[in-house]
Structure 1
Amino acid sequence: MNELTRSEAASLDALPAQELYTNRELSWLDFNRRVLAEAKRADYPLLERVRFLSISGHNLDEFMMIRVAGLVGQVQRGISKLSIDGRTPSQQLAAIREATEELESEQQVVWRELHALLAEERIHVADEGKIDHAARVWLREYFQEHLLPVITPQAIDPGHPFPFVANQGLGVLFHLTRISDGEDVVEMVLIPSALPRFVRVPGGDATYISIERLICRFGELLFPGFTINGDGAFRVLRDSDIEVEEEAEDLVRFFRTAIQRRRRGKVIQLEIEEDFDATAEALLREQLGLSDAQVIKTNGMIGVAGLDSICSEERPDLKFEPYTPRYPERIMEHDGDCFAAIGEKDIVIHHPYESFEVVVDFIRQAAADPDVVAIKQTLYRAGKQSSIIAALIAAAEAGKAVTAVVELKARFDEEQNLLWANQLERAGVQVIYGFVDWKTHAKVSMVVRREGTKYRTYCHFGTGNYHPVTTRIYTDLSFFTADPRFGRDAAKLFNFVTGYVEPHGLEQLVVSPIDMRDELYRNIDREISNQQAGRPSAIWAKLNSLTDKGVIDKLYEAGQAGVPVQLVVRGICCLKTGIPGISDTIEVKSIIGRFLEHSRIWAFANGYAMPSPRARVFITSADAMSRNLDRRVEAMVPIRNRTVHDQILQQVLLANLLDTDQSWFLQPDGSYLRAETGERPFNLHRYFMTNPSLSGRGQALVEDAVPRLALRKGAAV
């Protein structure tokens, strides 16, 4: 299509919103369908397929507790704000509920298939036919010794107030008849969250029974003198969002109270078994007040998220082959001295293929180094067993000036972050909570070290959290540098968060909500100008989510100009491909596999054919979402070092574009189609697991010790 034709055919203003954009929530549900599809892959080990089913359950629970709860709240308050695709909150809810019912039903279909396959491998889950006499005796003893002392039956009648069912609470209702007087009684047994979801019967074959089925099986021990007419398990999800009040004077006190309120949020979803006793169900619906809640009747397993406990079964033959991350060669070449290696030249580390332990060692060595005078660190999610926290505490106890920016608004980690903040403060760390209305999401640490008569600043910038668990399964980038320009910028960034001193004159970093949006727009505009001038142009990006209308419209402008745009968006994507004259030069793919793609990268051709040493490359903690660009403190790092630039562009980003084994392509109708693997399938995860680490690749690439990637079908050549 020539320039004139493209201009005539492409008008954003002329098209309705539903033709230009995909609904955010429906796009997320499509993402979770792709996660669930991994549970169907016959080439995956069986327990890994069960794990993907569990992950899809966890994802859907959080979606209901946060996104759906938010829409319900908007409807209740009469808010009529339209979504990006022009839907009202009530219209979105109707579409979401239909889609979630389909997704829940599909989860049960997948579970039935996996359940049968597990049985073939001598793993029996809630299979009554596999519970022999010896197992029944053991389960009865287990129930009497471990469950009876813990669980508490509660009568539901006018003399007993209806018990409170906590968020994600699991329980059983019994419909009983008292033998002495023939009186009908309904009793509830709430299952404490401390109890295991599944109980494993000892023996060679693995036999698991869910805690709710175990309680139902031995109901007569709970209710002597009663006849059990019926029973049924149920599960409740509640509104779990925390809205920060701008007038909150004390963030710590506010979040301690808010966490308690979250446990008692409004019921958003009730999940019950399909054969739930009718009398008990009617009472449950009435008492929970379900006027705006979704009720899911399940003909299989309630709460499939709980299946993750089955995956701990000791069956290595049914799991991915274990993978041990490599410790970065560049650091080992300097006898493990992080500062010597970073001081020599910039380094990029590719997690989880390269160990996150190097990031911890960076702080540990700083704590032990007598020449280090100060450490500053942002903490968004650090996990429950955090070696980073321990290293910061050791540094403070060693007399270093340590500052930690702890983000209390990290969803579902608020309580853990409060605990870490208390421990850090007791050790003498200066703990800062940042802005009231903005989250500090940037992943930055800086170490100031005395070297001779001067001070030198060493920095770490990451695309992922300082979290010991996620770093083993999330693909992220860690960039280390001793470039003084980055050191000065990092200091200004911390002053912005700790003292609200807006950074001026930044030399390298781009920071939201100050100038990241503008910088992205400038780079997209440059590609448009290059295309219009007949110079090479291209935009490559790797993101978790693309929902911001401004960024999408900018990419549409690039598409209108004919700029080739290739996007790897793992999750939500509100941009539509294939719109004539607007997005027919834009390709979007999603990668779902063994590892969760999490790094965020932007690359702009800059007038040269991609991939080029002259391309402009950035890594960032921010997704292309309004909240990241306008309501969070984020950092975007330009990659100037030639070796690091080539590693990120010509290895990490290019491998993502070339992957066929784990990729799904976005279709013009908004659906996703799994990529055709062809004769030479390429799996980017396998590529990085079986090749030398990035930190040792500079010379390896020159010497052709690593399979090179080429931008053509066929992947590694």
Structure 2
Amino acid sequence: MSESSQQNTRTSRSRRGPQGNGEEQAEERPSTTSTSTPEDDAILPADRYLDRELSWLRFNERVLELADDPDLYLLERASFLGIFSSNLDEFFMVRVAGLKRRVALGIAVPAVSGYAPLELLSAISAEAHRLQERQAAILHDKVLPDLERVGIGITHFADLDAATRERLRRYFDEKVFPILTPLAVDSAHPFPYISGLSLNLAVIVRNPATDKREFARVKVPQSLPRFIRVGDTGEEQTHFVPLEELIAAHLDELFPGMEVVESHTFRVTRNEDLEVDEDEAENLLQALEKELLRRRFGPPVRLEVASDINPAVLELLISELGVQDEDVYKLPEPLDLTGMFAIAGIKRPELHYPVAVPVTNRYLQDIEPDQHAEFFGAIRKQDILLHHPYESFATSVQAFLEHAAADPQVLAIKQTLYRTSGDSPIVQALIDAADAGKQVLALVEIKARFDEANNISWARKLERAGVHVVYGLVGLKTHCKLSLAVREEEGRLVRYCHVGTGNYNPKTARLYEDLGLLTASTDVGDDLGRLFNHLSGYSAESEYQRLLVAPKTIRSGLIELVDREIAHAQAGRPARIRIKVNALVDEQVIDSLYRASRAGVEVEVWVRGICALRPGEPGLSEHITVRSVLGRFLEHSRVFWFANDGDPTVYIGSADMMHRNLDRRVEALVRITDPAQISELTELLEMGLADTTSSWHLGQDGVWTRHHRDAEGRPLLDVQEELQHIAEQRKQQARAKRK
């Protein structure tokens, strides 16, 4: 389940859930030169790539299949319905909007999958229509009936008894009516601007004096609860009425003296992709603030309407909004199922996943907040591999920065911030460090999609506190997850580092699966020191010891490792490749994996979302398998594992295999050198990729098939549940050893 994917847990857009698609954005063709030879390319078929947009829609269908799973906790199924909607909203706002814009400007080119631009838009529309119709069927035919059986329901206003309707009328008069603004459409009133993702009522009223019918629009307030609880039924019996139904039932109060003939709900999705020319913008912060205002007025790309809408009203909406027929989605009410997050939040523990309590990493247990030397001593003793959310972010990464801020021996802190929470203890630690007189550098990525406004706010707050704030390199987003603390110890400076796969966000760290490395390695410290200097000053540094850094060396470095496995296989030595990513789209990386498969190398891919690689194709990829795991947590870590003739080479880091990550972002992968940690990551990959683990399998035709039961119908291993058990066992073993 952008920077997408379950979890609702976004920073600024808190609706998105853990299976969110993240910060998707327009992808262009790769700008670097492939390491393959012309002969290599000539023997690879032209139709070897699956389409990335259709692959994304199939990822979101996997989210929808979780909502359709009767074995899953019921309120979690409701949450997955909301996640599906939130994901799809972002897909239209960015991916579809970007493609439409390029078509309109005449600059769209055929996709590498072979689709012409208009053909692809048509395929996207057909698939999106199918999925939204399937979502509606799951809601009305399965989830709502199942909820009703446990005392939770969405009730129509017309079905309420007289006493409840009267109580809701008073609620309407006191809480709703004062903030509604009916907007008429006639010769004196132009068609109003419809804001993106707002829910609206299209109202037809009749003037009794003239018998003339008029159109009006009423916006459903986003500041009020989408679903209003009805009756004093407690937690066990919980029923709701949609806010739009309450408003529709009292429209006569908004149009006194007029006859309300009919009303219909509708919703518009607009282009919300940012366009800022960094070369022309003297002050990137101010330019982004202006662009955020412009974003609200992007052109419509989707119109959702109630399935029973009057054709004349629909025709008016289509005409005034300027959408095409294929952009119209007729759906049974309620529209906008992101509102299901409100239902999913009901406190019925038996209908949710059991509470998961992260454990403190075994090397960091029993260290108090004021024991700075002990905390840094633990890192100095050995590299510490972290696995969130099974291991606590608060007692590891957050504690790392809090100790660094409070420890008088720490002289400087350098930090990247891509997404963080609204009340971030990470940002507060940086402010505290600056207040304490330490040198603090924060590299804030203010172009992080849908978090721009939040990050601008934090950037200004950090600047006011005396933190040195920089915004990275022109033309590149800084997406790497890096933290560096410089500590004085016995007359020398020691650099302590954190390199992670996920954002410095304590809230999403409880829902996103990520890896991180805490280390006092001299090599990593030197690498991070050079990289931060490159980001904050003038430097052409691109040589690192344990890091691969985009846009210079990640693609080429990984392809070199693939080629090494090919050489091992051709020499009869053990060769294998395992990759865990959120997305696999880059053609050069995919082609290198195809060449590995043709050389007999077993290639196993664990991908959460998009995969443009076509596995299992005879003569091309018969040695490649692709698996996807979706569940309670959003699989977000990136791991690159190469057998290397029995001496595995393993990297973790922030980069997905996409053009934007490899060409237009600063990303970092760090090589894991501790044999025990390499074994741990090997076991993780083996578990996630095993046929005995519950997952989806990708076929050569691009279709994903769910495998969650064995031949006898027994549930397959839930890898996330198993990892929770393993983390708890390690915690207990560490405690027993200390005793």
Shorter-chain-normalised TM-score: which range?
over 0.9
Moved more, 494-503 or 273-282: 273-282
Give me the whole-angstrom Cα distance separating, in 2, the residues matched to 1:693 and 1:639.
Answer: 23
Give me the whole-angstrom Cα distance separating, in 1, the residues matched to 2:591 and 2:733.
Answer: 37
In the alignment of these two chains, the number of paired residues is 686
Residue of structure 1 aligned with 2:720, choices 682, 685, 697: 685
SS of the counterpart of 1:332? coil
CA contact (8 A) 2:305 2:329 kept: yes
- Deviations, residues 508-540 of structure 1 (Å, cap 9, x unaligned): 111111111111011000100000000010000
SS of the counterpart of 1:148? helix
Offset, 1:502: 2.4
Match of 1:603 in 2: 641
Give me the whole-angstrom Cα distance separating, in 1, the residues matched to 2:674 and 2:544.
Answer: 18
CA contact (8 A) 1:328 1:693 kept: no
Q: Which amino acid aligns with 2:486?
A: V
**2:68 maps to 1:40:** yes
Moved more, 249-258 or 520-529: 249-258
Residue of structure 2 aligned with 1:618, choices 651, 656, 681: 651
SS of the counterpart of 1:145? helix
Match of 2:579 in 1: 541
- Deviations, residues 476-531 of structure 1 (Å, cap 9, x unaligned): 00110001111110011111111141224422111111111111011000100000
Moved more, 217-226 or 508-517: 217-226
CA contact (8 A) 1:172 1:189 kept: yes
CA contact (8 A) 1:51 1:311 kept: yes
Counterparts of 1:199-214 in structure 2, within 5 Å, are 199-204=228-233, 205-214=237-246
Residue of structure 2 aligned with 1:483, choices 494, 507, 521: 521
**2:162 maps to 1:125:** no
CA contact (8 A) 1:251 1:436 kept: no
- Deviations, residues 432-478 of structure 1 (Å, cap 9, x unaligned): 00122110000000000111100100000010011122111110001
CA contact (8 A) 1:659 1:683 kept: no
Residue of structure 1 aligned with 2:669, choices 636, 653, 660: 636
Give me the whole-angstrom Cα distance separating, in 2, the residues matched to 1:373 and 1:132.
Answer: 68
Give me the whole-angstrom Cα distance separating, in 1, the residues matched to 2:198 and 2:340.
Answer: 16
Q: TM-score, normalised by structure 1?
A: 0.93
Q: Which amino acid aligns with 2:519?
A: T
Offset, 1:322: 1.0
CA contact (8 A) 1:268 1:293 kept: no
Match of 1:338 in 2: 375
SS of the counterpart of 1:177? strand
Give me the whole-angstrom Cα distance separating, in 2, the residues matched to 1:548 and 1:697.
Answer: 42
Match of 1:708 in 2: none
1:505 to 1:100, Cα distance in 2 relative to 1, 3 A: closer
CA contact (8 A) 1:32 1:56 kept: yes
- Deviations, residues 158-209 of structure 1 (Å, cap 9, x unaligned): 1012211111121111101122332212111112322222222242121211
Give me the whole-angstrom Cα distance separating, in 2, the residues matched to 1:313 and 1:453.
Answer: 56
Give me the whole-angstrom Cα distance separating, in 2, the residues matched to 1:430 and 1:53.
Answer: 42
Counterparts of 1:282-293 in structure 2, within 5 Å, are 282-291=315-324
CA contact (8 A) 2:125 2:326 kept: no
**2:248 maps to 1:216:** yes
CA contact (8 A) 2:99 2:108 kept: no
Match of 1:260 in 2: 293
SS of the counterpart of 2:727? coil
Q: Which amino acid aligns with 1:23?
A: D
Counterparts of 1:567-606 in structure 2, within 5 Å, are 567-606=605-644
- Deviations, residues 12-59 of structure 1 (Å, cap 9, x unaligned): 5356533x1100000000100000000011111110000011101111
Give me the whole-angstrom Cα distance separating, in 2, the residues matched to 1:147 and 1:335.
Answer: 50
Residue of structure 1 aligned with 2:393, choices 346, 356, 369: 356
Offset, 1:392: 0.9
1:288 to 1:129, Cα distance in 2 relative to 1, 3 A: closer
CA contact (8 A) 1:244 1:437 kept: no
1:694 to 1:73, Cα distance in 2 relative to 1, 3 A: farther
Q: Which amino acid aligns with 2:210?
A: D
Offset, 1:695: 7.5
1:630 to 1:693, Cα distance in 2 relative to 1, 3 A: farther
- Deviations, residues 214-250 of structure 1 (Å, cap 9, x unaligned): 1111112222212121110111110011123132222
Q: Which amino acid aligns with 1:344?
A: K
CA contact (8 A) 1:448 1:456 kept: yes
Give me the whole-angstrom Cα distance separating, in 2, the residues matched to 1:500 and 1:623.
Answer: 27
Counterparts of 1:131-170 in structure 2, within 5 Å, are 131-170=160-199
Q: Which amino acid aligns with 2:165?
A: R
Offset, 1:697: 9.6
CA contact (8 A) 1:347 1:695 kept: no
Tell me the C-alpha RMSD between the 2 structures.
2.0
CA contact (8 A) 1:659 1:682 kept: no
1:484 to 1:698, Cα distance in 2 relative to 1, 3 A: farther
**2:690 maps to 1:658:** yes
Match of 1:429 in 2: 467
Residue of structure 1 aligned with 2:311, choices 272, 278, 286: 278
Match of 1:99 in 2: 127
SS of the counterpart of 2:50? coil
SS of the counterpart of 1:692? helix
Give me the whole-angstrom Cα distance separating, in 1, the residues matched to 2:139 and 2:629.
Answer: 23
Where relative contact order (Cα < 8 A, 6+ residues apart) is larger, the structure is 2
Give me the whole-angstrom Cα distance separating, in 2, the residues matched to 1:465 and 1:418.
Answer: 17
Counterparts of 1:287-326 in structure 2, within 5 Å, are 287-291=320-324, 294-326=327-359
SS of the counterpart of 1:51? helix
SS of the counterpart of 1:324? coil
Match of 1:79 in 2: 107
- Deviations, residues 539-597 of structure 1 (Å, cap 9, x unaligned): 00101000000000000000110100011011100000121121000000111111111
Q: Which runs of 5+ in 2 are unaligned?
A: 1-38
**2:59 maps to 1:31:** yes
SS of the counterpart of 1:149? helix
Give me the whole-angstrom Cα distance separating, in 2, the residues matched to 1:219 and 1:329.
Answer: 61
